[in-house]
Amino acid sequence: MNLEKVVFSFFMILALTLNFGFFVGDVDDPAHHNVYELYAVLIVNLIATVMKFGDRSQLGAMLLATSLVAVVQLISSTIVWTVAVHVHETGLTPGVMSTIVSLSGGAMLANIISVILLMIEAAMLRH
What count of other Cβ atoms lies within 10 Å of the Cβ of residue 52?
20
Q: What letter would DSSP give residue 27?
A: T
How far, in Å, CA of 33 to CA of 88, rounded? Answer: 20
Q: What is the dihedral of CA 107, 65, 113, 105, to 10 degrees?
A: 10
Q: What string of pLDDT tens digits covers the 127 residues of the chain?
A: 788 889 989 999 999 999 999 999 999 999 999 999 999 999 999 999 999 887 888 888 999 999 999 999 999 999 999 999 999 988 899 999 999 999 999 999 999 999 999 999 888 877 5
